[in-house]
Structure 1
Amino acid sequence: MAKLKEKLLEKWNETLKAVLPIIAIVLILCFSIVPLEPGILLAFLLGAVFLIVGMMFFTLGAEMAMTPIGENVGTSMTQTKKLLLMVLLTFILGFIVTISEPDLQVLAEQVPSVPNMVLVLSVAFGVGIFLVASLLRMLYNISLAHMLIVLYIIVFILAFLAPDEFVAVAFDSGGVTTGPMTVPFIMAFGIGISAIRSDERAEDDSFGLVALSSVGPILSVLVLSLIYRPESARYVPESIPDISDSIGLWKIFAEGIPEYMQEMAVSLLPIIVFFIIFQLVFRRVQKRMLIRIGVGMVYTYAGLFLFLTGVNVGFMPAGNYLGQVLADNPYKWVIIPIGMIIGYFIVRAEPAVFVLTRQVEDITSGTISAGAMSLSLSIGVAVSLGLAMVRVLTGISIFWFVIPGYAIALILSFFVPKIFTAIAFDSGGVASGPMTATFLLPFAIGACTSVGGNIVTDAFGVVAMVAMTPLITIQILGLVFELRSRHLEKMETRKAAAAFALLPDDDIIEL
């Protein structure tokens, strides 16, 4: 019990450190240049409380339940050595975990014309297929860089053929899919598979699953766009809630709680059923661990519905209104540096970022520190938010950003250590999590509404931009690491040569 309290306190502190900078930025803005209506500000603050408590329970639950499930399933499945069974189980896992992803649900709510379930199932199918591709890559030692080049060529060919209103949404789908539910599970699944391998590339191959799982949704939504014709793709913005008093404030939260409780129960049920069947067949998990996983699932469920209630009821309206007011003033350009500051801090509030940076530090034995990873991600996301705000203000096509961006990322992959490439492409998916979908996307939509832009083509795509820049910044970190290692190696060689030259001839002959 004492250990559980200690863990809860640790998660509470982590969450506070992540979310408080965002709250501080919003409060500074609303008391200086962006006047917020009192009702919206109170909804934002209460939403922040829900978000903090929800994230605390969720991250603890994911650590207790999702990570051990992923590792056990990955290891047991690979030990069977039955390829067909492995492929089938991997697809089912990718499919059901994606359906449970909270930020995918948030994005689906905001996408016009396409029914939520159509988009969610399409994305889940894409993740399932590409998780299978990740499994085959690990089993047959296929180069991640080569796979990514081929896949992104296909992505851009399909993107040119797809209707404009689907392109930005497709790239956003790839970003939101790899969030706090899928990342702990998929990364643990990869570690479980690589654990039974003893070759020197096993560690490198444990990364890259998130990267490939991010490509699947982009392709599946682009294919959907070629066969699905909505009646209208016009975006209808959500109305800003009118809150007159404290009772009205609580009422909108009280109405949201049952809805998200039901939504998350339906989403988590397939994972629970799958694990029960897995345990009945393999009987791998001991009783004590089963109890721990059960408690973890309860925490995960509580955390998810509290988190979703907080962000949907409190954060989204505040983000939308903030964007509207900032873009409506005479100095519209100010939204670019403000967006960059918000981007720098908001990536630290992503639950999956904690998971990735820690696993990277553990697996690389501290060679790649969590601090260096966090700084690189923050810089990348700050740049991406600045570019996204430029898009909102000017209406420049997303192709002018994603094509050069991915081209640079793929070219860098040939010059940096392979593990950095895998981590970089994993980081792109991780950085664009629920905070991006629930605050930054409404922020961009609000700004786009004020400047009279096309919301579907100009505001959507902000998640894609956030997912793209870490691919470059993390690989640059890898390039610096590689150059520094080579420099140190040369220095050591020179020192050894100099020391050797000072030895007497007799000692040299003896050596």
Structure 2
Amino acid sequence: MLEHPKRTLKHSRTILVEKVKESLSSVLPITGIVFLLCFTIVPVPNHLLLAFILGAVFLVLGMGLFTLGTDMAMTPIGEHIGSALTRSRKLWFVIAVGFLAGTIITVTEPDLQVLAEQVPNVPNAALIWSVAVGVGAFLVIALLRILLRIRLSYLLIGFYLLVFLIGAFVPSNFLAVAFDSGGVTTGPMTVPFIMALGIGVASTRSDSNAENDSFGLVALCSIGPILAVMILGFLYTPDGGYQSLIVLPSAADSKELWSLFWSALPEYAHEVILALLPILAFFLAFQILKLRLDKNQMIRICVGLFYTLLGLLLFLTGVNIGFMPVGNYLGQQLGAFGQNWIVIPIGAVIGYFIVAAEPAVHVLNKQVYEMTSGAIPKKALSTSLSIGVAVSVSLAMLRIILGIPILYILVPFYLLAAVLTFFVPPIFTAIAFDSGGVASGPMTATFLLPFAMGVCQAIGGDLATDAFGVVAMVAMTPLITIQILGLFIRNSGDGRNKVTQDSSAPESLSSGDSDIIEF
């Protein structure tokens, strides 16, 4: 029975309170770490600290609204479109719509706009559209993988071998940007849509491994931007003169402080609206041509889109005005210490807790828990992810201090991740590589990257080769820690067949009528 619109709104308000409580518990740890640093070893100007506090309030409210909106709108939209794609039974239709959807949605990803502003000598439009085309192309590959039942690990190993082969010839001052682009594209707008799209496509299959194969889209969509930006690196030659565009806020009193946030709202509202419009346009087109959902479902999705818009608006305003300047300032001050090695353990602690504040991480945790019927506990997944990001950030700080080339770290870690794919249940490979993408979201781009830039500036390093790359490294270690979690669960002997079964063997495409696609 369909839920009445008024009951839907009342129920959503109740859930919103729960979502805000969840986001508060996620943001409090990183806020506490910043407070501890500010009141002990890194004194921070009062106006900067107050901006951080106000930004934290925006962040908590924004995350609560965003996660509620995702549940009500983004996930259902992706699932409906995914199901409609495969119900058409036309391969050309899947390819065309998948490419177009991936490209247009990526163009408006807020994190990508931030990265593009930081890269000199390359037009913003050239970088953004190159990344978007890369996502669109690999979204098609990811969808075809589900339909053709190709083992994910084979594709990941093959494409990453290609990435590192091309990377050996890419200019060093462009290489880190290329790897970072793979992380920033899987942000709060693209991840819920892409993951839900995978679930929708997988739902049309009749075999027992369909749910497992619904994961892995984010992992593959992170590779396309890396390859695209590497190719772009052969066309443009940045001179290495990267400049940090982060401006520390200045406010004489509380009124001026509030005006900083208030004046930023229209700018971020414009970004968020642009990010939502393509998704809305796709959904409306499918609603008219294919879906024809009833009135109550449409009302629920529209309310969810409003919550998503408002949540992202508050979130982006909070992190950009409150979190980004504090992250950069702390990095500069800690990097200027006589014993600047202290940024390594501090970076590890920040990395451990900051991943909990990523909106897309909550989306992944929820879908993993639901798709595995609780066989993979949220706590175990979150802890593994936090450990991975802690290792990532500490390695990023070490790389900045010693000037280690990024490939010296990425190659062995990805090699280890590739080896593990042959020993863990396939679903953990997909979840691990998806986790790498979702971990490197807005908090990484607006706090950890400015923090790394601050450290790099203080020690006199090269921003192009040293500071950039922290996003790529955050996306790297979860591939290992979560696959290790898979080994642990498989060997624990707890009988969780849904998780530990070997779903690597492709089955015949003719096993069910719903699986037939016209070539």
TM-score range, shorter chain: over 0.9
Determine whether 1:396 maps to 2:404.
yes
Q: Which amino acid aligns with 1:66?
A: M
Question: Which segments of 5 or more consecutive residues in structure 2 lack a partner in the other structure?
Answer: 1-8, 498-519
Question: Which segments of 5 or more consecutive residues in structure 1 lack a partner in the other structure?
Answer: 490-511
Q: Which amino acid aligns with 2:417?
A: A
Structure 2 distance, partners of 1:252, 1:344, is 30
**Secondary structure at 2:275's aligned position in 1?**
helix
Q: 1:48 to 1:116 in 2, by over 3 A?
A: farther
Determine whether 1:481 maps to 2:489.
yes
Q: Among residues 371, 375, 382, which one is paired with 2:379 in the alignment?
A: 371
8 Å contact kept, 1:62–1:181: no
Offset, 1:56? 1.6
Map Cα deviations across residues 452-501 of structure 1 (whole Å, 9 max, x no partner): 00011101111111100000001111112222239999xxxxxxxxxxxx
Structure 2 distance, partners of 1:128, 1:320, is 33
8 Å contact kept, 1:75–1:195: yes
Offset, 1:296? 1.3
**Secondary structure at 2:375's aligned position in 1?**
coil
Structure 2 distance, partners of 1:111, 1:373, is 34
**Secondary structure at 1:243's aligned position in 2?**
coil
Offset, 1:134? 0.5
- Say which is worse superposed, 217-226 or 318-327, in terms of deviation: 217-226
- Say which is worse superposed, 111-120 or 400-409, in terms of deviation: 111-120
Offset, 1:265? 1.9
Structure 1 distance, partners of 2:173, 2:379, is 38
Determine whether 1:144 maps to 2:160.
no
**Secondary structure at 1:468's aligned position in 2?**
coil
Structure 2 distance, partners of 1:359, 1:391, is 34
Offset, 1:233? 4.5
Determine whether 1:352 maps to 2:360.
yes
Q: Which amino acid aligns with 2:22?
A: E
Determine whether 1:78 maps to 2:105.
no
Offset, 1:252? 2.0
Map Cα deviations across residues 131-173 of structure 1 (whole Å, 9 max, x no partner): 0000111111112111111101111122111111211111111
Equivalences for residues 5-404 of structure 1 within 5 A: 5-230=13-238, 233-404=241-412
Offset, 1:313? 1.3
Aligned-pair RMSD on alpha carbons? 1.7
Q: Which has the higher helix share?
A: 1
Q: Which amino acid aligns with 1:86?
A: V
**Secondary structure at 2:222's aligned position in 1?**
helix
Offset, 1:264? 1.9
Structure 1 distance, partners of 2:161, 2:436, is 18
8 Å contact kept, 1:72–1:284: no
Offset, 1:270? 1.8
Q: 1:283 to 1:75 in 2, by over 3 A?
A: closer
Structure 2 distance, partners of 1:300, 1:249, is 26
**Secondary structure at 1:86's aligned position in 2?**
helix
Offset, 1:227? 1.8
Count of aligned pairs: 489
8 Å contact kept, 1:260–1:309: yes
Map Cα deviations across residues 224-277 of structure 1 (whole Å, 9 max, x no partner): 111234576432443322322223212322221111112222222222222111
- Say which is worse superposed, 276-285 or 419-428, in terms of deviation: 276-285
**Secondary structure at 2:168's aligned position in 1?**
helix
Query: Structure 1 vs Structure 2: percent identity of aligned residues?
Result: 58
Offset, 1:422? 0.7
Q: Which residue of 2 aligns with 1:419?
A: 427
Structure 2 distance, partners of 1:184, 1:488, is 26
Structure 1 distance, partners of 2:189, 2:348, is 26
Structure 2 distance, partners of 1:55, 1:101, is 17
Q: Which amino acid aligns with 1:83?
A: L
Q: Which amino acid aligns with 1:426?
A: D
Offset, 1:346? 0.5
Offset, 1:357? 1.3
Offset, 1:87? 0.7
Q: Which amino acid aligns with 2:198?
A: G
Structure 1 distance, partners of 2:472, 2:157, is 18
Q: TM-score, normalised by structure 2?
A: 0.91
Q: Which amino acid aligns with 2:250?
A: D
Q: Decide which structure has the larger Cα Rg and report it.
A: 1
8 Å contact kept, 1:190–1:206: yes
Map Cα deviations across residues 401-434 of structure 1 (whole Å, 9 max, x no partner): 1000100000110111111111111111011111
Q: Which residue of 1 aligns with 2:511?
A: none
Map Cα deviations across residues 108-127 of structure 1 (whole Å, 9 max, x no partner): 33333433333222211111
Q: Which amino acid aligns with 1:223?
A: I
**Secondary structure at 2:249's aligned position in 1?**
coil
Map Cα deviations across residues 196-215 of structure 1 (whole Å, 9 max, x no partner): 11112212211111110111
Structure 2 distance, partners of 1:443, 1:369, is 32
**Secondary structure at 2:492's aligned position in 1?**
helix
